[in-house]
Structure 1
Amino acid sequence: MKRWIVLFFAFFLAINAFGDEKKKIDGYESLDEKSKMDFDYSFMEGVKYKITGDFQQAVAYFDRCLQIYPGSPVVKYELGNLLMMSEDYNGALQLAREAVTANPSNMWYKLLLAHVLQKKSMIEEACNVYADIIAKYPDKEEFYLLEANLYTSVEKWEKAIDVYDRYEKQYGITEPASIEKIKLYTKLNDLKGASEEAIKLINKYPEKSEYLSLLAELYFNYNEDKKGLKILNKLLNTDPQNGYVHLYLADYYREKNKEEEAENHTRKALLSDELDNSFKVQYILRLILSKDSTRVSDQQLKGYMDLLMSKYSDDLTVRALHSDFLKKENKIEEAKNELEYILSQDKDNYMIWEELLLLCNETMDTICMYNKSVEAIKYFPEQPLPYALAGISEMLKKNYENAMEFFQDGLKLVEDQMQLKAQFYSYLGDCYYNLDSIERAFDMFDEVLKINPNNALVLNNYAYYLSLRNENLSKAEQMSSQAVLLEPENGTYLDTYAWVLYMRKDYSQALYYMKLAIQYSPEISGVLYEHYGDILYRNDEKEKALEMWKKALDAGDEVSKDLKSKISGEYTFEN
């Protein structure tokens, strides 16, 4: 019912507007009664269909109106609006011009004309139309701003300033208009004009110190440092705790290589209770990101951090920054403690949870990964990362079924995030493989490669699993070769490729890639030594093979059950 009330109201307004219009136009009054009735009916139907969104029917009825009364400006206005919506700007422009010509006093016709001109990038003419509207309706504030913005959009700065001057005569000095004029004068490189506008604001709003700061900044930008410093020092005499001014002066003196003055103002700003701590944190982050250009040392940054912690240790934004500093110093456990403290005070900040979970992952702390991920899921069940890390922690403990539950839940959350989706498929594939659901595992790996055919990790693992099962070795070779091509200095991938070649009985090529795998492996595992030994044996280097097998046994990780029999000579290699 409410929808029909709205439609009736809109329809009522349109009909009333038409009624007022037709009384003013002599052409309508000259129609006979039947033509008037046909015209009124067609116009009302056109308005009805326009309101209900059936624009094709609306155009048909408005065309019928023009057949009855070709000079009707209100019909041309309605048709012009419909053509605008269909992006027929040439047709809309012609109709808008004709409507304005027929009734130049109608504001709505002129607004349509201005809008069409703007769409056609005829900015000067559009601005002239707005100027005409303003002349007739000087109390319509929005038209000044539209005209000024149009001039600004085509970089006619002086004309935009003229519009704001007219606006100021009508409304007096206002902050938004003066700020815009300062920007425009700055684009014109006119310090005098910009500073005069700033002084107007200072005189009108003496309680707002930011306008004095703005004036000082203008002077600094135009290399009139003495004037700028005089204003800032005046501000500090009035308000010694003004942190914004201290930070501005800190940057100024740092740029001038006056380190002592810069350090003094930085510390005063950081200790100022008038400056929000979040702003201080952002300032320090900016110094960190631009450390080379600002020439701030690590020791100075640490001093600033210690200063904030000494006074504002209860502030969680400060504690979060402190955790970043601790991470940078490789004090991972202390950084974790800081993040846990923040979460003890506020559990609703997901980014802090994510930081903590990633630190747990970095340190391979599976207990922390699991416990904190499960807790994070309670507060943020829609975030996929906690599911991934909880699942990984279970995988590392070989609780594959539990891990799969987390990965399957996480997969539901990343339908449109293809890279994360691929990651969950990869984890599920590893779980299925370790649970001996081989076909399901390989299905998962195929899903990953559909999303990202160049996922080197999955290409490598998939190929290795195939080689261990001695099946589909041609596919395994192709995938392993692609992984090595993507990361040619990855020892693990080179080992897989060597092993696939070995399983395909290409022993000489296997030996070549195995030597590369040894070269590029920072730590050589027992598996890798055993593979090397097997490949050497097949290349008739039996003494060296025995040496590698013994090294594999000493390494003590996941070697094959046949290793000892290879060393003793009891193992028989298949032909």
Structure 2
Amino acid sequence: MKIKRQLIIFTLLGFLSVPALVSAQQQEPDAIALENDEFQNNFYESLKQKGIENYDKAIQALYKCLKTQPENPVIHHELGKNFLAQKNYAEAEKSFQKAIDLDPKQRWYWNGLYDVYYETKDFNRSIPVVEKLISFDKKFQDDLVSLYMYTQQFDKALALINEMDVTTGLTATLEMYKLQILSDAKFRKPEKENLEQAIKNNPTEESNYIQLIYLYSESNQEDKALEVAKKLEKAIPSSDWAQVSLFKFHLNNREPQKAADAMFQVLKSKKIDSKIKHRVLNEFLIFSNNTNSFKKELAQAVDYLAEDPNVNVSKEIGTFFLEKKKYADAIAYFEKSLELKKDDIGTIELLLQAYTDTGQYDAITKKVADYLDLFPTHAKLYFFAGMAQNQLKNYKKALELLQTGMDFVVEDRALEINLNIQMGEAYHGLGDEKKKESYFIKADQLLKQKK
């Protein structure tokens, strides 16, 4: 588990003017000035040495400062930072703790101690320190949740998450933690009861419905989840989240048009996470494939996710149909994908494969001419082009393309085998059986090497 760190910026403003603790009545004025000069010179020297990572000399200079000001928390804090840089964790802890004992109101001293415990993975001892840091900055609540999770204090983590949900809202990480905790059955029942009561107390708070729908779905109580979704739809008619559960209900209830309408509302929503949108689309894709219907609605759904930077939806659906041997559908989605990104060589190869599987050799010949302009050294394009020319009985053209492709093969034995087979086919078409046999033998040798 990666615990979120807070960015700590340390400022020395005012630290160099810390007065000497020795009484002025006990010393001559010149002696006082000399002592102050010596203290500041040593302090500056420690900063200079720390800046060039010469921590031993920095520590020596700070010990000189302590001779005149042994109870100065700033010096102990600086010592702690130098010891920490040396990974001398025991001395760093002592120094930070001493600074805290002398001045517990300074956040930076507590943060130094937290750094020691964090680096030594002493998460149990980190917890009281972070609890103190929260009094300085509420953002440390995120750290405290992570520490509770790491030390398996899930009840405390859930209580704090629920509190933050009301006061500050939850980050994606905290949402993930909550789902992780609630995956344990012992936390579900009280949480369900809390959410049901929260909905009664505040029926227009959408997040309570969403969490309750999730809990019922996770425990396979689909009827209960649907009941909550319907309550949400009634209480907040504009809610997009209600449609997520209603979509699945309509599919299961054999109401595909209602399911499609719910899906479109989900896909249009700016509130719903893209992962959920993809899950909804995937379920509709499976339904459309199994029933061989609602293809128009499926195509519309894909358009909503066309600009997703993480997933090429049209390509993925095209691949799905290619694996199902529904070539017309696969070709349609590959071409749709290439309209948005014409230089995606992976999609180009899949499209040419779909054309090959359906014997559309003229289409391959036309398409590959454009693609070779984009990728003039891509060997597999020459394979598709040469293979298509062989099928069209243009054997000389096929040989020309296949030989060029062979020049560009780099560590792709399968492709090299296929090019040799196609060259053998071309020579066979030209009536040169000797050369045909030589290329077939070479392909067979490569095949044996491959095994």
TM over 0.5, yes or no? yes
Distance (whole Å) between structure 2 residues aligned to residue 210 and residue 164 of structure 1: 13
Going from structure 1 to structure 2, the CA distance change for 1:284 and 1:162 (only over 3 Å counts) comes to: closer
Structure 1 gaps of 5+ residues are 1-9, 378-384, 404-426, 433-443, 449-454, 462-489, 497-520, 528-551, 564-575
Kindly provide the CA deviation profile for residues 338-365 of structure 1, in whole angstroms up to 9, marking residues without a partner as x: 5335544x34x755x5313332256273
Is it true that 1:340 corresponds to 2:316 in the alignment? Answer: no
Is it true that 1:61 corresponds to 2:55 in the alignment? Answer: no
Kindly provide the CA deviation profile for residues 348-399 of structure 1, in whole angstroms up to 9, marking residues without a partner as x: x755x53133322562735423412434x6xxxxxxx984445656887555
Going from structure 1 to structure 2, the CA distance change for 1:175 and 1:142 (only over 3 Å counts) comes to: closer
Distance (whole Å) between structure 2 residues aligned to residue 117 and residue 152 of structure 1: 16
Is it true that 1:43 corresponds to 2:48 in the alignment? Answer: no
Match of 1:112 in 2: 112
Match of 2:441 in 1: none
Structure 2 gaps of 5+ residues are 1-8, 269-273, 307-312, 388-396, 439-451
Alignment of 1:208-287 (within 5 A): 209-222=206-219, 227-237=224-234, 244-248=241-245, 251=248, 259=252, 261=253, 263-264=254-255, 267-272=257-262, 273-276=264-267, 282-285=279-282
Q: 1:212 offset after TM fit, Å? A: 1.1
Distance (whole Å) between structure 1 residues aligned to residue 304 and residue 222 of structure 2: 36
CA contact (8 A) 1:357 1:369 kept: no
Q: 1:128 offset after TM fit, Å? A: 1.3
Kindly provide the CA deviation profile for residues 162-198 of structure 1, in whole angstroms up to 9, marking residues without a partner as x: 6558x66xx9644329966676466472335423554
Match of 1:157 in 2: 154
1:355 to 347, 352, 355: 347
Alignment of 1:130-209 (within 5 A): 130-134=130-134, 137=135, 140-161=137-158, 163=160, 173-176=167-170, 184=181, 187=184, 189-195=186-192, 198=195, 202=199, 207=204, 209=206
Going from structure 1 to structure 2, the CA distance change for 1:68 and 1:117 (only over 3 Å counts) comes to: same
Q: 1:81 offset after TM fit, Å? A: 2.1
Alignment of 1:503-514 (within 5 A): none
Q: Which amino acid aligns with 1:274?
A: Q
Distance (whole Å) between structure 1 residues aligned to residue 261 and residue 39 of structure 2: 76
Going from structure 1 to structure 2, the CA distance change for 1:250 and 1:386 (only over 3 Å counts) comes to: farther
Number of aligned residue pairs: 389
Distance (whole Å) between structure 2 residues aligned to residue 374 and residue 553 of structure 1: 29
Match of 2:12 in 1: 14
Q: 1:109 offset after TM fit, Å? A: 0.9
CA contact (8 A) 1:323 1:334 kept: yes
What is the SS of the residue equivalent to 1:303? coil
Going from structure 1 to structure 2, the CA distance change for 1:27 and 1:226 (only over 3 Å counts) comes to: farther
Distance (whole Å) between structure 2 residues aligned to residue 189 and residue 124 of structure 1: 24
Going from structure 1 to structure 2, the CA distance change for 1:151 and 1:114 (only over 3 Å counts) comes to: same
Distance (whole Å) between structure 1 residues aligned to residue 204 and residue 161 of structure 2: 24
Going from structure 1 to structure 2, the CA distance change for 1:389 and 1:35 (only over 3 Å counts) comes to: farther
Match of 1:368 in 2: 367
CA contact (8 A) 1:46 1:62 kept: yes
CA contact (8 A) 2:145 2:161 kept: yes
What is the SS of the residue equivalent to 1:26? coil
Going from structure 1 to structure 2, the CA distance change for 1:14 and 1:173 (only over 3 Å counts) comes to: closer
Alignment of 1:442-457 (within 5 A): none
Distance (whole Å) between structure 1 residues aligned to residue 23 and residue 104 of structure 2: 17
What is the SS of the residue equivalent to 1:74? helix
2:434 to 559, 566, 575: 559
Q: 1:227 offset after TM fit, Å? A: 4.4
Going from structure 1 to structure 2, the CA distance change for 1:354 and 1:66 (only over 3 Å counts) comes to: same
Match of 1:431 in 2: 407
Distance (whole Å) between structure 2 residues aligned to residue 238 and residue 46 of structure 1: 65
Going from structure 1 to structure 2, the CA distance change for 1:242 and 1:77 (only over 3 Å counts) comes to: closer
What is the SS of the residue equivalent to 1:129? helix
Q: Which amino acid aligns with 2:371?
A: K
CA root-mean-square deviation = 5.0
TM-score normalised according to structure 1 size: 0.53
Alignment of 1:458-469 (within 5 A): none
Alignment of 1:462-481 (within 5 A): none
Q: Which amino acid aligns with 2:295?
A: M
Match of 1:474 in 2: none
Distance (whole Å) between structure 2 residues aligned to residue 305 and residue 162 of structure 1: 46
What is the SS of the residue equivalent to 2:215? helix
Alignment of 1:502-541 (within 5 A): none
Kindly provide the CA deviation profile for residues 421-446 of structure 1, in whole angstroms up to 9, marking residues without a partner as x: xxxxxx6xx429xxxxxxxxxxx98x
Going from structure 1 to structure 2, the CA distance change for 1:319 and 1:267 (only over 3 Å counts) comes to: farther
Q: 1:129 offset after TM fit, Å? A: 1.9
What is the SS of the residue equivalent to 1:40? helix
Q: Which amino acid aligns with 1:354?
A: G
Distance (whole Å) between structure 1 residues aligned to residue 178 and residue 303 of structure 2: 43
Q: 1:226 offset after TM fit, Å? A: 5.6
Is it true that 1:26 corresponds to 2:18 in the alignment? Answer: no
Going from structure 1 to structure 2, the CA distance change for 1:280 and 1:267 (only over 3 Å counts) comes to: farther
Q: 1:141 offset after TM fit, Å? A: 0.8
Q: Which amino acid aligns with 1:360?
A: L
Distance (whole Å) between structure 1 residues aligned to residue 227 and residue 281 of structure 2: 26
Q: 1:112 offset after TM fit, Å? A: 0.8
Return the index of the structure with the highest Cα Rg: 1
TM-score normalised according to structure 2 size: 0.65
Distance (whole Å) between structure 2 residues aligned to residue 151 and residue 313 of structure 1: 41
CA contact (8 A) 2:225 2:245 kept: no
Going from structure 1 to structure 2, the CA distance change for 1:197 and 1:389 (only over 3 Å counts) comes to: farther
Q: Tell me which stretches of 4 or more aligned residues in structure 1 moved more than 6 Å.
A: 27-31, 239-243, 393-396, 552-555
Match of 1:542 in 2: none
Q: Which amino acid aligns with 1:305?
A: K
